[in-house]
Structure 1
Amino acid sequence: MKHTTRKTRYSMIAVAVVGALVAGNAAASGFQIRENSTKNVGRALTGTAVAKDGSSVLNNPAAMTNFTATNVQLDVAGIDLDASFNGTGYYKPTATTEVSVGGGNGGDPGELTAVPSMSFIMPLKGDLESVRLGASVSAPFGLKTEYENGWMGRYNATISDVKTVDLTLSAAIEFSPKVSVGAGVIFQRTEVTLGRDIPTNLIISSLPFPLNSPVGDGNFTLTGKDNAVGFVAGIMLRPWNNVTIGYSHRTEIKHKFRGTADFTMPNAFTARQPGLQTLAANAAAAAANTSLSPTQRATAAAQAQQLGALGYGFQDGTGYSELTTPAVDTVSLSWALNDRVTLYGDVQRTGWETLNNVTVGFSNRYQPTSVEQFNWKNTWYYGIGADFKLNDAFTLRAGVGYDESPTNDHDRTPRLPDNNRNIFAAGGSWAVSNNLSIDFAYMRVNVKKTPIDLPPNAAEGRYTGLRGDFTGHADVFSVGGSFSF
């Protein structure tokens, strides 16, 4: 017999926030995207706070003083995540019994995703010739992961899609050939899509008063968006003619999301909700009946809460939560060995400790507040790279890096199968003319084998567990060009 479903809509900001937190990017730790410059990609993301590059508008505004002419730059990085899962999804009908939920391994959750960025830098003239103004549009966080329908981790994640776009407006001033400073304001927009299946049968069977009659699974897909403002500031020093040191600080940016979700629930479940509402009302009346014993009233109150959540859940409502994107501190060094060879080094700290947990509240009093633990830590990135100028027309570059993951083996989820990674990169530039440059780069990101061990935890809304390992890597292909006039 054909199984039919009925769709309902539900406003759920908080779940959209959770999606933003855990939907990750395999090319950088957490859900950070550093690929905003093809030249930087070719050096394994080094030189970001000192190099003559349009991305300095957001990476370190002080480095805009490297430009003596107006410059327009456009880059596009294609990030391709290739990952696979080997393990099992399960639930525990008793404390000592595990039962498989069935399903496949999810396939490859990643796909080739284009991440564009563009910048504009303009030196002023006359009495303000030491000043540079800049603007850029970039995507600092997010990527898309999507698993095959019916996979064994479907109750943890089906689709996770995060799009964060920054408009950065910056200014810099060169006090002397040895000292430059700069600062900018960041206007950030974040959009999130999150989906997972709902184990309705397991939720019902986990009650102390089983309702029997299986109803089938549901599904929801949630979206949320928000605008927020942050800042970036930096300094660039030239202690010697052939050595440049840059430092930049990007502030945290706090988001308050509002969103909606499409619920697809089985008719067999939605048809029972009026009856569940009646049972919840009867249990609430019993909880208020002073003729019953305290134990009986407490039991009735718990039943009223559980029945109310089922009877009044999956309906239109409003929720609230917050997400703070991390502060980022970067130190870069460039050392020109001679006219043809320049070495670069970067150390970057990302303040992921802002993602300790996510607290989710709802206007619907039957929807309990949810706290999901992440316990992320601050991370470090280390990289070295080099430019090799073959002649006036062609420059080659290469680099290696090591990037730490903010998550841990206890709290890792399939939305972010993240772990420490090694980075290898190569690229080059073709100076078509004195004003036009074409850039290209390739970066390989090898991710350490990633264990997942999430036990069922009904208190966090996780009725099934997932245990196994992710293996994978990411390939980044980047092309760009800049024009000066």
Structure 2
Amino acid sequence: MAIPHTFRASALALGVLGALAFAPAQASGFQLKENSVKGLGSAFAGSGVNPGDASVVVNNPATMTQFEGTTVQADLSVIDLSYRFEGSGTDALGRPLTGGDGGEAGDVTPIPAFSVIHKLDNGLAFGAMVSAPFGLKTEYDHDWQGRYFADTSDVKIVNLTFSAALDVTDRMSVGIGAVYSKADVTLSKAVDFGTLLFSNPATRPLPFALPQARDGHAEIEGDDTGFGWLAGVNLRPTDRLSLGVSYQSEIDYELRGTAEWTVPGDVRTVFNSNPITAQLFQDGGAGAKLTTPSTLAVVARYDFTDRFAMMANWAETGWSSLREVRVEFDRADPDSVEPFEWKDTAFASLGAEYKLNDAWTLRGGVAHDETPTSIEHRTPRLPDANRNWYSIGATWKVSDAMDVDFAFTHLKPKDPKVDITSGGSTITGPYAGDANLFGVSAQYRF
């Protein structure tokens, strides 16, 4: 029995296309902004120029010159993400896809960050920070109706950043940094082998060659390290006005790992009947290239009085770097390609801060965050949409040397929907979802 090359390609398309489409996150695409609890409390308005926030190691290294001595800061943000599918799907014969709505696809995920800054007497400042700028985890029920599009998504990207800054004048400082990054990805989905056999006239007579009759499973794991850079400028035209511009580069990864297939026994027998198709859906090595986007941010802060300040932030994320995902296999399987066609996005926020007394400072902010996706390419792995942020926070000055920060943010996406077909299956409809973010941090100065 011969199975043509086009059938082989469609099999791979159903099995692994979209395997590196990332899980829903709380910022544009799969970006995580949560590297500062103080920043979270004002929807990141002014992030990069706000005084006393050691996350400037990453957000704008030029601001490190505004610190004195040594500052150590530990941040913990917890993301409670809720996503539930409210649509439906059909198979290649137009019949409803079996299974439920997938359950609660979101998860509770902690996002830690740690930073240290040391300022020298000669105007130089140095800093280091560990943070997680991208990634999240979601998981659907294994037998849900969208199982052929997404099952489990687990993405972790951790950066180690080293930065340096210098006062050029009393009103201006500059900073640069180097980034070492580690990416680790595990993603899976169900494979409709019944549809694959039904699509080929040679195997269609088989009793199990029907859509949804023989489900298998595909899982891809991969990791790699990459390097990037960042730079920033901090301007202080007056004692009350601070302006900042910062840029973080793209980082390229060549993910390498394994592809593991679970194939029903009778389906495996069909494939093994031909030496060409016997090579399909065998465990082996796999890889894909990934580029995380660049970010350009312009921020401002104005202290109207010694107690009251307002802040603003505008940032562009270069998601156009993610045009497609091409999975390459070490075995006989041909490459699988999924177009993403993501676009660059803008994030804009406005916040305020009020010093209630010597011990407490209150803050709040709102933001609008664009999605890089479009309905043509949006999948259940990323039912993303434009979203609004609503944030509040506070700083408790425990002593002259120690501060503790608290923050809460509610994110509400605007009508996320999917409408996509792959391998004969179609899934369409809205998602109900939102996210709550909780944060606590401590800073010590000596």
TM-score interval w.r.t. the shorter chain?
over 0.9
Q: Which has the larger radius of gyration?
A: 1
Corresponding position of 2:192: 199
Matched, 1:436 2:402: yes
SS in 2 for 1:321: strand
Shift of 1:409: 1.0
Give yes or no for contact 1:69–1:484 (8 Å, CA) kept in 2: yes
The separation in 2 between residues aligned to 1:223 and 1:232, in whole angstroms, is 29
Matched, 1:335 2:333: no
The separation in 1 between residues aligned to 2:19 and 2:436, in whole angstroms, is 24
Write the deviation string for residues 300-345 of structure 1: whole angstroms up to 9, x where unpaired.
Answer: xxxxxxxx3x421121333332110000000110000000011110
SS in 1 for 2:63: helix
Give yes or no for contact 2:20–2:325 (8 Å, CA) kept in 1: no
Corresponding position of 1:51: 50
The separation in 2 between residues aligned to 1:115 and 1:237, in whole angstroms, is 30
Matched, 1:403 2:396: no
Shift of 1:18: 4.7
Write the deviation string for residues 384-436 of structure 1: whole angstroms up to 9, x where unpaired.
Answer: 01111011110000000000000011110000010000110001010000000
Matched, 1:370 2:336: yes
Shift of 1:475: 0.2
SS in 2 for 1:149: coil
Give yes or no for contact 1:16–1:192 (8 Å, CA) kept in 2: no
Corresponding position of 2:237: 239
Corresponding position of 2:173: 180
The separation in 2 between residues aligned to 1:123 and 1:198, in whole angstroms, is 56
Write the deviation string for residues 419-472 of structure 1: whole angstroms up to 9, x where unpaired.
Answer: 00011000101000000000000000001111111023xxxxx33111111121
Of residues 440, 451, 465 in structure 1, which corresponds to 2:426?
465
The separation in 2 between residues aligned to 1:315 and 1:172, in whole angstroms, is 52
Matched, 1:155 2:148: yes
Give yes or no for contact 2:69–2:120 (8 Å, CA) kept in 1: no
SS in 2 for 1:348: strand
Q: Counterpart of 1:382 in structure 2: which amino acid?
A: A
Q: Which moved more, 1:42-51 or 1:472-481?
A: 42-51
The separation in 1 between residues aligned to 2:69 and 2:365, in whole angstroms, is 28
The separation in 1 between residues aligned to 2:40 and 2:169, in whole angstroms, is 30
Shift of 1:124: 1.8
Q: Counterpart of 1:403 in structure 2: which amino acid?
A: D
Within a 5 Å distance, the mapping from 1:388-399 to structure 2 comes to: 388-399=354-365
The separation in 1 between residues aligned to 2:81 and 2:310, in whole angstroms, is 29
Write the deviation string for residues 59-95 of structure 1: whole angstroms up to 9, x where unpaired.
Answer: 11001112012100000000111121111121223xx
Within a 5 Å distance, the mapping from 1:374-389 to structure 2 comes to: 374-389=340-355
Taking only aligned residues, the RMSD between alpha carbons, in angstroms, comes to 1.6
Normalised by the length of structure 1, the TM-score is: 0.85
Matched, 1:350 2:317: yes
Shift of 1:265: 1.9
Of residues 421, 440, 444 in structure 2, which corresponds to 1:479?
440
Corresponding position of 2:416: 450
Shift of 1:16: 8.6
Shift of 1:21: 3.7
Within a 5 Å distance, the mapping from 1:214-233 to structure 2 comes to: 214=208, 216-233=214-231
Among all aligned residue pairs of Structure 1 and Structure 2, give the percentage whose two residues are the same amino acid.
39
The separation in 2 between residues aligned to 1:72 and 1:180, in whole angstroms, is 21
Corresponding position of 1:29: 28
Within a 5 Å distance, the mapping from 1:29-428 to structure 2 comes to: 29-52=28-51, 53-93=53-93, 98-125=94-121, 129-211=122-204, 212-214=206-208, 216-277=214-275, 308=276, 310-365=277-332, 367-428=333-394
Shift of 1:264: 2.1
Q: Which runs of 5+ in 1 are unaligned?
A: 1-11, 278-307, 457-461
Q: Which runs of 5+ in 2 are unaligned?
A: 1-11
Write the deviation string for residues 359-407 of structure 1: whole angstroms up to 9, x where unpaired.
Answer: 2333333x12222011100000000011110111100000000000000
The separation in 2 between residues aligned to 1:139 and 1:361, in whole angstroms, is 27
Question: Aligned pair count?
Answer: 427
Give yes or no for contact 1:17–1:321 (8 Å, CA) kept in 2: no
Give yes or no for contact 2:418–2:428 (8 Å, CA) kept in 1: yes
Give yes or no for contact 1:19–1:192 (8 Å, CA) kept in 2: no
The separation in 2 between residues aligned to 1:381 and 1:478, in whole angstroms, is 20
SS in 1 for 2:95: strand
